[in-house]
Amino acid sequence: MLDRLTIERMMAWAGDRPVLVALSGGGDSVALLHLLVDELGAGRVRAVIVDHALRDGSADDCAHALTFARALNVRADVLTLRWDEGANRAQQAARQARYAAICEYARAGQLNTIAAAHTADDQAETVLMRAANGSTWRGLAGIAPFAFAPLWPEGRGVALARPLLAARREPLRIYLRARGAQWIEDPANANPKFERVRVRQRLAALEADGLDPMRLAHLAARFRLRSDALDRAASKLIAESADLEDGAVICLDRWNAPAEVRRRALSAMIAAVGGASREPAWTEIEALEARVMRGDLPGVTHSGVEFSTTGGAVVLRREAGALLGRADGALPHPALPLRANVEAIWDGRLAITPPEEGWSVVPARNAYAVAFKNALDLKTYREAETLLRLRPLVAARVAHAFAPDINRAKP
């Protein structure tokens, strides 16, 4: 049931560290836990259970999930999400909060690999939902079997493996019944107010009428091959034609690749320079990359990134207005207090570790759009380099846009 290639990539990335299973207590994740324990041994597996704290009974379900892990001698912990008053608690927000909590837990435990129990049925549902919403072909590639965690900066360096992406739900439950294992049925999985539940029910009806939903999963697999090839070409183009530091400089005389490759590369660099978790919409990138090729860039900003030209190069820098505030109502980026010897991330693009208390980071109108404040005065980036440990994350964010390279040293 486990996909061998995904397991090999997952273990190459994890090295000698345990793999962290995202355990909900549902049939899919419990099956994944059993399969990985059989594959790797209980000592190479850990589990983390997230209580979203959004419904009555969620804590009891998490307690049950904890017993499932402990019955297999797997070390497990429950993370309970905290919600501010008035916070967005919709499914997408809950998903982001869940991934952020799991990634923070992984990094704190020096783990670099999360295993999630997405199945072929999840893949088919994803493809149908994206097709209905007018997705591009890249969206129809669906869920990646092996990628970085889908958020930044919390997910930096943390891979997300989906070893069950070729397995269907019902055989997983047959497997659990044969082992005498229990699992939890989440009531949200039957609530038609959620789009995925409605799509799941529609696919079940179509399957009863003779349509095999796995055709959608197979379509995703074919598009995934193309998407992976595009990513490899875009990563190569960036390596050969761009310099990445706090911003990015594209050397136009080396910016030679098919248009689709150039757009994919530009999308990754915009997210990196802006410190963003999500990349711009593909339709917006098409028009923007055409302007890059024409050199038609004076005054152009996009996704918090400012574009300019110098000689034969295009320069991408963090837009100062996105941090300092703008007349259109955009608020200034708040100052970030720092703790001694604790790494903090500023604006998704700079890691800072101060050797002593009393420092904070503030936005500033300069090339780096940042300054460093202590009780005495304000330091520029260059002045602070000798006082603080500073690590630009632009190159790391670009790498995060593509699949983890298991042939390189782990971050």
CATH number of the CATH domain containing 33: 3.40.50.620
- Average pLDDT of span 122-142: 95
Beta-strand runs (E) in 320-405:
336-337, 344-346, 350-353, 360-362, 371-373, 378-379, 389-392
Rounded Cα gap, residues 381 and 369, in angstroms: 9
> Which residues, in sequence order, are CB contacts of 316 under 8 Å at separation 6+?
247, 248, 249, 250, 269, 270, 273, 305, 306, 307
Q: Quick check: is 374 in a domain?
A: yes
User: Are 15 and 152 in the same domain?
Assistant: yes
- Average pLDDT of span 57-85: 94
Nearest to 107 by CA among 149, 44, 53: 149
Q: H/E/C letters for each residue in 150-166?
A: CCCCCCCCCEEECCCCC
Q: Quick check: is 376 in a domain?
A: yes
Q: Quick check: is 139 in a domain?
A: yes
Has residue 229 got a pLDDT over 90? yes
- Average pLDDT of span 329-355: 93
Residue 410: the pLDDT is 52
- Structure-model confidence comparison of residues 376 and 171, the more confident one: 171
pLDDT-derived band at 295 (thresholds 50, 70, 90) equals confident
Total domains present in the chain? 2
Bond prior to 153 in cis (omega within 30° of 0): yes
Residue 311: the pLDDT is 86
Q: Quick check: is 190 in a domain?
A: yes
Residue 315 is encoded by which pair of tokens?
Answer: 């320069």
Residue 408: the pLDDT is 65
The residue range of the domain holding 355 is 332-394
User: Are 68 and 200 in the same domain?
Assistant: yes
User: Are 74 and 204 in the same domain?
Assistant: yes
Q: Quick check: is 372 in a domain?
A: yes
Q: Which of 161, 193, 212 is the last residue of a domain?
A: 212
Q: Give 314-326 pLDDT, tens digit per residue.
A: 999 999 888 998 8
User: Are 187 and 54 in the same domain?
Assistant: yes
* Cα-only R_g, the chain: 23
pLDDT-derived band at 92 (thresholds 50, 70, 90) equals confident
Q: Quick check: is 243 in a domain?
A: no
Nearest to 49 by CA among 18, 19, 78: 78
User: Are 208 and 339 in the same domain?
Assistant: no
- Average pLDDT of span 392-398: 96
Residue 398: the pLDDT is 97
Has residue 89 got a pLDDT over 80? no
Q: What is the pTM of this model?
A: 0.93
Q: Which of 177, 212, 247 is the last residue of a domain?
A: 212
Nearest to 309 by CA among 322, 298, 318: 298
- Average pLDDT of span 233-251: 95
Has residue 261 got a pLDDT over 60? yes
Has residue 194 got a pLDDT over 70? yes
User: Are 201 and 346 in the same domain?
Assistant: no
Q: Quick check: is 196 in a domain?
A: yes
- Average pLDDT of span 222-249: 96
Has residue 331 got a pLDDT over 90? no
- Average pLDDT of span 102-111: 97
- Average pLDDT of span 242-267: 94
User: Are 150 and 17 in the same domain?
Assistant: yes
Q: Which residue has the tokens 């183009």?
A: 237
Has residue 409 got a pLDDT over 80? no
pLDDT-derived band at 86 (thresholds 50, 70, 90) equals confident
Rounded Cα gap, residues 286 and 266, in angstroms: 10
Mean pLDDT of the chain: 93
Q: Which of 167, 196, 212 is the last residue of a domain?
A: 212
Q: Give 265-276 pLDDT, tens digit per residue.
A: 999 999 999 999
- Average pLDDT of span 8-33: 97
